[in-house]
């Protein structure tokens, strides 16, 4: 072995990168003047790729493994440099290590509400956010399209662009899904899959693959959520008439339990409110559920009734009978035209046949059968 071979053996380069950071995507291996010795040892670990750049042009890409850098292992770089007859001298090239492992728990979300048309509520504005997992799928495309000459490229430098693409495609996924707003909570998986299908082509142009794209929440504006809460409360309460009666009774109980708050004026006011509410609850209790109120407020007046008659039957006062009851007594023979009757407004008892309001019912009763 000559002196040159001995010196060259002692200074053979070892090119490797051990990553300890949680967010580094690309790291440029720094060399003095970018000189690499012929036969240098290149070590690419699992979850990495090594990319060689020659004068700004993408050359060879190495997957995980250990390599001795010779013309046989650098076919593209050898072609670019014109090494047609072998090469054993140091050469210049930039080496970039690309982290190809998965980066989890990446956040995305809408900065502004997205307007969509809901079949039940019409046009509504929704916000959404979630997480995704990404990895560099094509190191060469990623360096050429995204990284450029950046010597230390992190996830923060690309997540903004990924989020912009996700938000832009989210509205399309929502519109094509046809899922009502109230049913979206049960369809997050379906929406995440639709969104992932729509952004896949965009990410391929960056050399990135999105995995496990999740939609974690879709929210409505506060005013719409408040209206939905009220609607839900009405459904929980059920019979609003019974609930109103219960609330009135509770209010009266609260006033009764606090009779002296605020002195005589407060006591008088509380008493007045108590009487007024007692009157209202009395009307509410007497009104059947669901019965409409008349124009003056409160329950409608009772239906006018006909006169009530008393009759002298068997020497005893019987009644009072309304019109239907009196007609029944006439049919049974208990009351005849000679029976004495009386009602309010009459000065004294009179025969039933002489009282117009009673005698009219005798015509509808057939006479007795002849003997």
pLDDT in tens, 41-90: 999 999 999 999 988 889 999 999 999 998 888 888 888 888 766 777 78
Highest mean pLDDT among 22-36, 38-52, 111-125, 183-197: 38-52
Residue 233 lies in a domain: no
Check residue 65 and give its pLDDT: 95
Please identify, among 77, 99, 121, the residue that sits at the C-terminal boundary of a domain. Answer: 99
Asked if the structure places residue 191 within a domain, the reply is yes
Nearest by Cα to 132 from 96, 177, 97, 169: 169
Within a domain: residue 293? Answer: no
Banded pLDDT at 4 (limits 50, 70, 90): very low
**CATH number for the domain that contains residue 341:** 3.30.1490
Give 154's contacts (C-beta < 8 A, 6+ positions apart).
Answer: 21, 23, 24, 25
Residue with tokens 């965009």: 202
Structure tokens at 251: 């209010």
138 pLDDT tier (thresholds 50, 70, 90): very high
Task: State whether 164 and 81 are in the same domain.
Answer: no
Of the candidates 218, 232, 166, which has an alpha carbon nearest to the alpha carbon of residue 195? Answer: 166
pLDDT at 277 over 60: no
109/265: higher pLDDT = 109
Tokens 């960056």 locate to 206
Q: Are residues 22 and 48 in the same domain?
A: yes
HSE-CB of 133 using CA atoms within 13 angstroms:
6
Domain around 119: 103-220
Q: How many structural domains comprise the chain?
A: 3
User: Quick one: 107 and 59 in the same domain?
Assistant: no
209 backbone dihedrals φ, ψ, rounded to 5°: -120, 130
In a domain, 187, yes or no: yes
On whether both 107 and 163 belong to a single domain, the answer is: yes
Task: Answer yes or no: do 109 and 204 share one domain.
Answer: yes
Q: Is 215 domain-assigned?
A: yes
Q: Where a domain ends, among 56, 75, 99? A: 99
Q: Is residue 236 part of a domain?
A: no
Are residues 77 and 138 both part of a single domain?
A: no
Please check whether residue 143 lies inside any domain of the structure. yes
Q: Are 47 and 114 in contact (CB under 8 A)?
A: no
- Judgement on whether residues 21 and 93 belong to the same structural domain of the protein: yes
Of 220, 240, 263, the residue that ends a domain is: 220
Task: Let me know whether 134 and 210 are in one domain.
Answer: yes
Q: Same domain for 91 and 146?
A: no
Q: Are residues 110 and 88 in the same domain?
A: no
CATH code, domain carrying 118: 3.30.479.30
Per-residue tokens: 267: 């006591």
State whether 150 and 60 are in the same domain: no
> Which one, of 180, 18, 203, lies nearest residue 106 by Cα?
203
Of 14-28, 218-232, 240-254, the one with minimum mean pLDDT is 240-254
Give domain status of residue 371, yes or no.
no
What integer pLDDT is reported at residue 45 of this predicted model?
A: 94
d(CA 283, CA 294): 13
Rounded CA separation 291/320 (Å): 30
In this structure, the answer to whether residues 165 and 65 fall within a common structural domain is: no
């Amino acid at each position: 072995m000559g002196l040159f071979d001995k010196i060259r053996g002692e200074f053979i380069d070892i090119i490797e990168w051990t990553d300890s950071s949680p967010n580094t995507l690309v790291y440029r291996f720094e060399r003095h003047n970018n000189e690499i010795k012929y036969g240098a040892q290149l070590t690419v670990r699992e979850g990495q790729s090594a990319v060689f750049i020659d004068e700004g042009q993408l050359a060879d890409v190495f997957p995980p493994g250990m390599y001795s850098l010779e013309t046989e292992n650098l076919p593209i770089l050898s072609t670019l440099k014109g090494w047609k007859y072998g090469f054993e001298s140091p050469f210049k090239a930039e080496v970039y290590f690309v982290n190809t492992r998965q980066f989890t728990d990446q956040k995305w979300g809408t900065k502004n509400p997205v307007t969509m048309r809901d079949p039940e509520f019409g046009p509504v504005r929704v916000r959404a956010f979630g997480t995704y997992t990404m990895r560099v799928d094509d190191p060469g495309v990623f360096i050429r399209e995204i990284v450029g000459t950046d010597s230390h490229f992190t996830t923060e430098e690309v997540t903004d662009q990924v989020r912009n693409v996700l938000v832009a495609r989210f509205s399309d996924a929502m519109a094509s899904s046809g899922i009502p707003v109230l049913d979206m909570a049960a369809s997050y998986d379906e929406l995440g899959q639709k969104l992932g299908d729509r952004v896949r082509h965009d990410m391929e142009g960056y050399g990135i693959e999105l995995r496990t794209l999740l939609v974690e929440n879709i929210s409505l504006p506060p005013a719409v959520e408040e209206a939905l809460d009220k609607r839900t409360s009405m459904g929980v309460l059920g019979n609003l008439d019974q609930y109103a009666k219960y609330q009135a009774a509770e209010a009266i109980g609260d006033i009764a339990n606090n009779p002296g708050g605020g002195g005589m004026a407060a006591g008088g006011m509380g008493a007045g409110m108590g009487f007024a509410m007692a009157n209202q609850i009395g009307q509410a209790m007497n009104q059947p559920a669901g019965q409409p109120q008349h124009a003056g407020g409160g329950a409608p007046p009772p239906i006018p009734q006909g006169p009530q008659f008393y009759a002298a039957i068997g020497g005893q006062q019987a009644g009072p009978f309304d019109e239907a009851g009196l007609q029944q007594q006439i049919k049974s023979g208990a009351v005849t035209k000679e029976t004495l009757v009386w009602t309010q407004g009459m000065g004294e008892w009179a025969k039933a046949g002489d009282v117009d309001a009673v005698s009219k019912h005798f015509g509808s009763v057939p006479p007795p059968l002849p003997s």
